[in-house]
Amino acid sequence: MESTTAPTKLAFSAAARAEIARLLTHYPEDRKKSALLPILHIAQAEFGGWVSPEVQDLVAEVLDIKPIEVYEVSTFYTMFNLKPVGKHVLEICRTGPCMLRGSDELTQHLERITGAKVGGGPSEDGLFTLKEVECLAACGFAPIVQVREKYYEQLDTPENVEAMLNELRNMIHRPLLPWEQTGLKHSQQ
Ligand code: FES
């Protein structure tokens, strides 16, 4: 028998809506599209760390633009994940200075320990996705991995790698982003 329940429409949380409204005040009414990048970041944080076509359609609706205008941007920038990801996305820098300080070995080590593959899906336990990225602008502390807003530095020893993975494994909730903290403060007032 066919279900008569309509699929639930995606919606941003109140905190995200407040942040989007704040961002939109920075642009003229007829230039709302200029807020596309920060709003895609909000969408990615809101909906499990990746932007599905449905999420991108929601962003298009919020900005009153065509979905294709969102897809053009999300498929261009590597910081947007277009497939489901693990709880933690490890962005491993592979540019020259990090490479000279062992980023290839680091990548192989992380693949071995987590069971995830660079460019592939999440690890079996759902905890980790591995991605290679270009220079993270912290070359003096190479090799570097970025996880959300945090940099893990000098990952050229097994001890440092293990300390990073343990910290991530023990993280029950992801840290709140600045706009989420603001939203939380507002909702508690
Ligand atoms: S090369 Fe890795 S941070 Fe610059």
Tell whether 139 is in a known binding site.
yes
Point out the domain boundary residue: 51, 74, 97. 74
Query: Is 102 close to ligand 1, i.e. is its CB under 6 Å away?
Result: no
81 within a domain of the structure (yes/no): no
Per-residue pLDDT of the chain (189 residues), as tens digits, is 455 566 678 999 999 999 999 999 999 989 999 999 999 999 999 999 999 999 999 999 999 999 999 999 999 998 899 999 999 999 999 999 999 999 999 999 999 999 999 989 999 999 999 999 999 999 999 999 999 889 999 999 999 999 999 999 998 776 667 667 765 544 443
97 shares its domain with 161:
yes
Query: Which residues form the domain of 159?
Result: 88-169
Is position 98 within any domain?
A: yes
Measured between alpha carbons, how far is 52 from 31 in angstroms, rounded to an integer?
Answer: 24
106 lines ligand 1 (CB under 6 A): no
Predicted structure pTM score: 0.82
CB of 138 within 6 A of ligand 1: the answer is yes
* Overall number of domains in the chain: 2
74 is annotated as contributing to ligand binding:
no
- For residue 152, report the distance from its CA to the centre of ligand 1, in Å: 12
Regarding whether 154 and 92 lie in a shared domain, the answer is yes
Q: Are 22 and 65 members of one domain?
A: yes
**Residue where a domain terminates, one of 74, 108, 123:** 74
183 CA distance to ligand 1 middle (Å): 33
* 67 & 92 share domain: no
Are 19 and 50 within one domain?
A: yes
126 falls within a domain: yes
**144 Cα–ligand 1 center, Å:** 7
For residue 79, being part of any structural domain is answered with no
Q: Token pair for residue 35?
A: 């807020």
DSSP 62-124: HHTS-HHHHHHHHTT-TTS--S---SEEEEEE-SHHHHHTTHHHHHHHHHHHH---TTS---T
Q: Is the CB of 99 under 6 A from ligand 1?
A: no
Residue 30 covered by a domain: yes
Distance, CA of 122 to CA of 50 (rounded, Å): 12
Residue 93 assigned as binding residue:
yes
Report whether 85 belongs to an annotated binding site. no
Is 99 found in the same domain as 67? no
